[in-house]
A and B are shown apart, each in its own frame.
Chain A
Amino acid sequence: MVWFIAKKEFRNNIVTPGFIVGLLLCLALIPYTVYTGIRTHTNRLAQYEVDIKTAEDIYMKAHTYAQVNPILVKPVSSLSIFSKGITEQTGSKVKLDRKEKPVFSTDIVSLNENPLMSKFMSMDFAMAIAILLSLLGILFSYDMLSREKEQGTLKLALSHPVSRSTFFLGKIAGIFLTLTPILVICFLVILLIIQLSPSVQFSSGDYGRIGALLLLSLIYFGFFVFLGGFISSRTKSSTASIILNLFIWCILLFLLPNTAAWFGKNISPTDDYRQVDFYTDQIDKQWWDVQAKEVEEILKNENLNLFGWAYCWDMDWDGAHATMFTPRESMEYERRKKELANPILLANCNKKWAIQSDYLQQIYRQEKTVRYLSCLSPAGILKLIATSLCRTGTDSEVHFMDQARQFQDMFYGYFVQNKIFSSYAYFTPQKESEFPNDWDESNEQAARWREEAKATSTFDFNSIAYQDTQSFPRFAYVQPTLGDDLFEQLYLIAGILIMCILLFWLSFMSFIKYDVR
C-alpha cells in the first residue's frame, strides 16, 4: 500500500513545475561546481607534481647536509572537487627549518592567481547540494497536505480504508522517489565530466567516501522534507506554508551559517599573529645579540679563527651552509661553530614553539566555537561532514601539520644523534683530506676546478658531487581512514540524524491529528 501511494505521489510530483525548475537548477549548478572543482584540482595537482619533484631534489641534489631542509608536500585529494573546505586558505606544503617549527602550511595555491577576484558566495559541490536539496525538499513537501486539502482530494483519500500512517509513509516515500531521477541525471553528468578529466583519480576508499556523502545528502534532504511536511500540517493554506518554509530556508541556509561563523569569531577572539612574531623575534634577537656572541667567544678561546671563505654560497645563521676550497683553519672554525650553534638554535626553536602552540590553541578554540555554532544549521553540518569526507577540512589540515611537526623533531633528532651538525659534510662537499692548507693552495684548487668544470657562471656548481642522503628520514603522510573520519564526525552525523528523526516524528504526529476539513 505504501508503495502504491508512493508511486502515485511520484507521478503527481514529476509533472509539477517545482520538479522541472528543480531539475533545471540542479543541472545548471551541480555539474558546474564539479567542473570548477576539477579546474582548481588540476591546477593544484600540477603544482603538487612540481613540489614533489623539488622535495625529492632536496634530498638527491644536496651538496652539503645543511642544504637538506626537507619540503613536506601535502597530498592533493581528488575529492576536493566535491568540497573546497579550507583548501583555498591553507598552504600546499611545509618547509622544515631547524630554527622554527611550522605553524601553518605555506604557499597558498589559489593566491597564485588573482587575489583581487573577491569571491562572493563562492560555490562548491557541497554548497550547491546544500542549497538545492533543501530547496527541493521544501518544494516537494510544503503542500504535501495543504494542496490535497485545497483541492479537496485529501478527504477522499482518507476515506479509503488506509491508515493515516500508511498514507503518510507513502507520501514521504513518494517524495524521496521523486528526487531519484534528479539525482540520477546529475550523477550521470558528473560521472561523464569526471571521466573526461584525466587529473581526477579515485581510489576505492574514495568511492566509499562519495557513497557516504550521497547518503548524508539524503538524510539532509529528508530533514527539509520533514520540516516542510510539519509546517504543511500546521498551516491553513499552502501559500502560508511555502512562505514560512522559505523564510526558514533562507535563515538556515544563508543567514545562520554566516552569522554563526561571524559571531563565533567575535566571541572567541585570537591574538594577532604579529604578537607571536614579536615574541619569536625577541628570541631571534637574543640569538644575535647574546648567544651568537657567546659562541664566537668560545671559538676565540679555543683559538679558532675565520679568515674568510673561498667559494661560499647559502649563508645562514650558523655561517656558511656550503663552501669550497676554503683553507683548513677556516673549515675547522666553521665546523666547530655549527657544532656549538645548532643545539642552541634547536633549543630556541622549542622556546618559540611554546608561544606558537599557545597561539595555535587559540586558533583551534576559535575554530571549534565557529564549528559548534554553525551546527545550528543543517547546511552547516552537511558542509562540515562533507569537508571531513573530502579531506579538505580543518581536521585534515591539523592532522597533516601535527605529523609535519613530529617529523621535524625526528629529522633534526636524527641530525643530533648522528652528529651531523658537527661533521664537515654538513657544510662542504670537499673531503677533509682535500682541504687546502693555505690560500695559495686554495686558489690553485679553485682554478683547477674552474678549468675542469667549465662552470657557466660564478654560481654554477653542477659539476660538484652530491652528498649521500639515503639514510635520512623521509616524510610519509599517513592519512586518516574513512572510519577515523566518520568517527570524528560521529556527533555531527548523530546530530543531524536525531534532528531528522525528531522532525519526522513531529510531522507524523501532527498529521495523525490533522484536521482534514
Chain B
Amino acid sequence: MKNLILHELQQFLYELRLPITLSIVLVMFAISSLTYIGEYDQAVKSYREIVAGQEQQLRDRAGLSATNVVIHRREYRLPPRNNGFISDCGEPNMPNTLEYTAFHWLRFSGNVSSDNPLVMPSERISWGFILTVLFSFLAIIFSFDAVSGEKEGRTLALSLSNPVKRSRILLGKFIAINILLIACALAGILLALLILMLSPAVNITGETFSEIGLFLLFVVFFTGSMSAVGLLASVMCANSNISLLVSVSLWLVFLIAIPNFSQTLGTIAWPVERGNMVMFKIWEKRKEIEATFPDGKWMSNGSNPFLPQHEIRANMQMAFGKNEAQFWDEHYAAQFRQVKNTRRWAWISPLAVFEYGTEALLDGGYLRLKGNYTDLQNFKIQYLQWFKDVDAKDDKSPHWYNPYEDYSTTRKPVAYEEIPQYAEHPASIAERLAETLKYLMVMLAYMGVMFVLAIIRFERYDVR
C-alpha cells in the first residue's frame, strides 16, 4: 500500500500540473493575507469609532434620564472577527448591526452599502474562497485521469496484472491525490499565516490555531469528497478527456448551479414578504389601533407627567410597539426559515456543505447574526426589568410606560455604569464542533458514497 502511494506521488512530481498548482495556490494565499491585513485594520478602527460614538450617545442620554436611555435605539454592532481570513461567511452581504430598545424594537440594520456601491460585487479572497473554488477544481484536475489516463497510457493493464486488489489500487491513488492536495493547501496556509503573523494588526490566538486545525480537518474531507467525484468520473468514462469534461461540468453544477437553483427554489417555496409590505401592514393595523383610543390622546404637557392623556397615549404607544414587534418577529422568523430550508437543498453540493461547515466552525455569518438576535431577545427582558426597577424607585413618576416618549416615566438621570450592557456569547470550540459535526458527517457520507461507487465501477472496469 505504501509503495502504491509513493509510486503515485512520484508520478505527480514529474507532471506539469504540480508546479502550476503550487504557484497559483501560493499566490492566492499570499494575496488573501495581504489584503486581509489592511482590511482588518480598517474594520477594527471603524468599529472602535462607532462603538465610542454609541457610548457617548448613551452617556448623554443617561445624563437626561433613565427613560431617555431605554427609549433610545441602541445598536449592537458585531465586532470584526479575528478569524475572518479563514472565511468571511458571507458577512459583507449581511446586516452587521442589531438595533434595539428596552421595549419592542429589535431590528437588523447596517452594512450593505457601507462598501462602494458602484463596484460590481465580488467574493472576498479568503481561505474559504480559495478552497471552495480553486481546490475543488484542483481535486478534479488531479483525479480525472487516475484510471482513464493510465488506460490510455497503457500502464493500467500492467499495474492490474500485479497481485494487488483493484480496490487497493484505487485507494492508493485516492490517498496520493489527497496527500498532494493537502500538502499544497498546507504550503499555502503556512505562507498565509506567516504573512499574517508578521503584521502587528492581526492577533492570532491559541483559539485561532485550534480553529485552523479544525478547518484543516474540513479541508481533508472536502478535497476527499471532490477527488472522489473526479475518480468516479474517471472510472465511468473510457476516455480521459471525457472524464475531465464530465467532472468539470459536475464542478460547475456544484459551484454555480446548485447554490443558485436552491436560492430560487427557496424564494419560491418559502416566500418572505417584502419589507415595505410588512411596513404597510403595520401602518394599517396601527390606524385601527389608534381609532380605538379616545380623542385628545395626542395631547401632552412636559411639565405635568400626571396628565391623564399621557396614560392613554402610553397605552396606545405600547399597543403600537407590540403590533410592530409582532409583524417584525414574524418577518424575521420567515427569513430564518427561508435561509434554513434553502441551505438544506444546497447540501446536494459538497461545496455548499463545506461553506456552511466553515461558517459553523468559525461561528460567523448567518449563525452569528441569528444567535445574537435570539440572545438579544432575552437580554431585552432583563433590560426592561432593570428600567422598571429604576422607575419604581422614583415617586415622581406615574409609571406609565411609553416606548417612544419620556413624559410619563422617571426623569431622573442614571449612572452610565448602571445601564445593563449586552455581551455577545461566542460559541465555545466544543459547541462549534458539535454544530460542525453534522456537516462533517454529510461530507464523509458524500466521500464514502462516491468512493464506494468508484470502487464498484472499477472492479468491473475494462482495462483494454
Contact = CB atoms under 8 A, between A and B. Distances in A.
Interface in A214-253: 238-240, 242-244, 246-247, 250-251
Interface stretch (B78-86, B90-98, B222-230, B387-395): B90-98
B118 A397 contact: yes
A269 B42 contact: yes
B119 A367 contact: yes
B125 A259 contact: yes
B159 interface: no
Interface of A: 17-18, 21, 24-25, 28-29, 32, 35-36, 39, 43, 47, 85-86, 88-90, 104, 108, 111-123, 131, 135, 139, 143, 238-240, 242-244, 246-247, 250-251, 254-255, 257-259, 261-266, 269-270, 272-274, 363-364, 366-367, 370, 374, 383, 387, 393-394, 397-398, 457-458
A238 B241 contact: yes
Given A86-B117, A247-B20, A398-B118, A116 B28 contact: no
B426 to A, nearest CB: 19
B277 to A, nearest CB: 8
Interface string B121-147: 111110001000110010001000100
B162 interface: no
B117 A90 contact: yes
Contacts of B119: 86, 261, 264-265, 366-367, 370, 394
B242 A17 contact: yes
Contact of A117 (B34, B38, B240, B266): B266
Task: Describe B's contact surface by its main secondary structure.
Answer: helix
Those 8 A-B pairs whose CB atoms lie nearest each other, nearest first: A118-B90, A261-B122, A112-B275, A112-B274, A367-B118, A89-B117, A394-B118, A114-B335
Contacts of B28: 255, 259
Interface stretch (B6-14, B106-114, B301-309): B106-114
B257 interface: yes
A116 B240 CA distance: 42
Contacts of B249: 21, 24-25
B260 A121 contact: yes
Contacts of A47: 276
B89 to A, nearest CB: 8
Given A36-B264, A86-B120, A116-B335, A259 B245 contact: no
A115 to B, nearest CB: 6
B17 interface: yes
B113 A255 contact: no
B112 A115 contact: yes
A500 B151 CA distance: 37
Interface stretch (B164-172, B313-321, B336-344): B336-344
A258 B90 contact: no
A121 B255 contact: yes
Contacts of B134: 250, 254-255
Contacts of B113: 89, 104, 108
Contacts of B245: 17-18, 21, 139
Contacts of B257: 28-29, 32
24 contacts: A21-B249, A86-B118, A86-B121, A89-B113, A89-B121, A111-B112, A117-B263, A121-B260, A122-B260, A123-B256, A239-B145, A239-B149, A246-B141, A254-B133, A255-B24, A262-B35, A265-B115, A265-B119, A269-B38, A274-B46, A274-B50, A364-B118, A383-B120, A457-B287
B391 to A, nearest CB: 29
Contact of A363 (B118, B244, B291, B298): B118
B123 A258 contact: yes
B272 interface: yes
Contacts of B42: 269
A435 B271 CA distance: 54
B121 to A, nearest CB: 7
B326 interface: no
Nearest to A127: B256
Contacts of A269: 38, 42
A296 B418 CA distance: 40
Contacts of A24: 249
Contacts of A374: 120
Interface in B235-284: 240-242, 244-246, 248-249, 252, 255-257, 259-261, 263-264, 266-267, 272, 274-276
A265 B31 CA distance: 13
A23 B430 CA distance: 47
Contacts of A254: 133-134, 137
Given A112-B274, A255-B133, A118 B366 contact: yes
A118 B93 contact: yes
Contacts of A123: 256, 260
Contact of A29 (B112, B121, B256, B267): B256
A478 to B, nearest CB: 20
Interface in B46-82: 46, 49-50
B274 A113 contact: yes
A117 B339 contact: yes
